[in-house]
Structures are given as structure tokens and as C-alpha cells.
Amino acid sequence: MDTSKPHNIIPASLKRNWTQLIKAEATRLGFMSCGISKAGFLEEEAPRLENWLNKNYHGEMSYMANHFDKRLDPTLLVDDAKSVISLLLNYFPSQTQADPDAPKISKYAYGQDYHHIIKSKLKELHYFITDHIGEISGRAFVDSAPVLDKAWAAKSGLGWQGKNANLLQKQSGSFFFIAELIIDLDLEYDSITTDHCGNCTACIDACPTQAIVEPYVVDGSKCISYFTIELKDNLPSTMQGKFDNWMFGCDVCQDVCPWNRFSKAHNEPLFNPNPDLLDMTKQDWEEITQEVFSKVFQKSAVKRTKFSGLTRNINFLKE
């Protein structure tokens, strides 16, 4: 035995076995993809993020300017972080809203709030790793902490960031959630994939508010999702007639993306909508009451905008 080697050097074969074990469990838990990358500073993302913030593309989302260093370096979020495990969970629905004239809700918000569902799955994955590999420290992240999830997913080989800034996969498009488990365990790392947007500008051409200011750069403060979810003040009159009938979120840049023709319906029962939601007519939405709102969106992410916010958006569409 070579005693000159540090005791914590892990044989490549063991790292490979651990990696395969983790990916198999991620599949069992229902994740559509799992990729792993080495935890470290995101050098390429740093100037992009700084430039994006300097141009105020985050609008009134002040939290985006917080924890700049942590957004770029997972070792500041998890002590001695070694690996970022990125996971994708499909949410593409089998059915959409029935009335073509009804105000629209982004597909990701049809079912129960994804934060809770995915966090539960990540905890299970963490328990599994601890049970089968050893006492591993780590943290789970689901769109609620300073983590650049799309950058890490791309770095983990799960796809590329398209011209609409969403993560895209050739085999399944972009209708999926992204989450991470950052742990202090060395694993086998995946390779970055290539960009397959080519000369396509479908998302840029279709954006109702011209929020995609240049390929791969989105002005968040012009996005319909920002207006209908993040903005708490009155909606600006300059946006009148530009919301394409969206009352919560917006799927336009995903709906027109050629890669989303490969999207397949999810098989997560908790993402299925309240039966009433898809059948509500334009008139139903315009006459919605607090009682109906509470029933239809009992465990939904739509609750984030509150009844007052949703009715504000619906009224804006009527004006």
C-alpha cells in the first residue's frame, strides 16, 4: 500500500459506482434526467450575471442582486462542497385549458406547488446516498436559493441554455423543473453538451413583449411572467394589449421552440391540475371569487400571486 497518498483519495471505480447508484435512484424517484458536475466557481457566468444586473434586467426582483458570490460558488453554500447533482423533473401536461379564449396559466402551475414536491424527492435522494454510501453533508435547492440552476444543469450535461435562456434538451424540450443537491462527495462528472439552437429565432420573434433583447439574454423586467407574478404594483399601461391573454406566467417562448415538439406528458400525479381549472371559461375567470380561487389553487404555486394579484391580471387583460 502506498502510504504517501492521502487517505481520502477515492478510486475512480468507486466514484463511478457511486455515480451510477445515485443516477439510478434519481430515475426511481421520477426525475427525467440527472447530471453531475464538479462544484466550483462559475467563471463564465460571473461577468454575464454582473452585466445582467447592471442593466437592471432583474427589475424589482431585488433578491436577484443579493448573494452575488454565493450564486457563482456552491462551496459558499455547502461547506467543502465537491459535487453539484442537477436533476430535471418533467411537468408537461397531457391536457391544457379547454376554452381558447380563457385567460392562460403557465403549464408549470397547473398542479401542486413544485417546490414542496421536488424538495421531498431531493430529501429522499439525500437519505439514499447517506444510507448506501455514508454520512454525506449537503443541501437541496429548488428555485428558492442563490443557485444558478440552469448554468449548473448545462455544466452537468443535461442540455444547453437556449436563446430564450431556458435549458433545452434535444430529446424532451424544456418543460421541466430544475433542482440541485450539492454534496461534499467526489463523484464522476458529466461533460457539457453542445448548443443546438442554430439559426432559429422562433422564441425571439414570438415574445409578445420583446423581452429577449438579444440571443441568450432576457430582460426579466419585460417578461410577462415578471409582470403577472413578481410585480406587486400596478401593471404598466405601456404593456396594455401585449400579454397575449396570459394571467399567470407565460409559455410563449417554450411553446414555439421546435425542440418542444418532443415533449411528453409527465407521470407525476401531484402535477395534475384541479379538475375545475382546465374547464373554466373566460367568463368563469372574469367572475372568479375568493372561494373559487382558494379551492382551485389550494396547493398551487398560483397562490403566490394571491387572489388580488390574479384578479388584477385578469382585469388588465380586459382593459
What total number of domains does the chain contain?
A: 1
Q: 197 near 238, Cβ under 8 Å? A: no
Q: What is the pLDDT of residues 105-159, one digit of tens each?
A: 999 999 999 999 999 999 999 999 999 999 999 999 998 788 999 999 999 999 9
* Band of residue 6 on the pLDDT scale cut at 50, 70, 90: very low
Q: Which three cell numbers stand for residue 221?
A: 423586467
Query: What are 22-78's pLDDT values in tens digits?
Result: 999 999 999 999 999 999 999 999 999 999 999 999 999 998 999 999 999 999 999
**Burial label, 4 (beta-carbon count in 10 A; 0-12, 13-18, 19+):** exposed
Structural domain that includes position 202: 1-319
Which residues on neighbouring strands pair with residue 192, listed in sequence order? Answer: none
> Per-residue pLDDT for 1 more than 70?
no
* Per-residue confidence (pLDDT) for residue 319, from 0 to 100: 75
- Give pLDDT, residue 2: 38
Asked whether the predicted pLDDT for residue 88 surpasses 70, the reply is yes
The neighbour count for residue 191, using CB atoms within 10 Å, is 9
Q: What DSSP string describes 175-240?
A: -EEEEEEEES---PPPPP-----TT--HHHHH-TT--EEETTEE-GGG-HHIIIII--SPPPGGGT
Q: What is the pLDDT of residue 143?
A: 87
Coil, strand or helix: which one is 218? strand
Q: What is the mean pLDDT of residues 265-283?
A: 95
Q: Any residues with CB less than 8 A from the CB of 52 and at least 6 apart, and which?
A: 58, 217
| Strand 212-214 relative to strand 217-218, pairing | antiparallel
Give me the pLDDT at residue 7, please.
39
pLDDT digits (tens, 9 = 90+) for 154-179: 999 999 999 999 999 999 999 999 99
The pLDDT tens digits of the residues spanning 173-231 come to 999 999 999 999 999 999 999 999 999 999 999 999 999 999 999 999 999 999 999 99
Which positions are catalytic?
Answer: 143
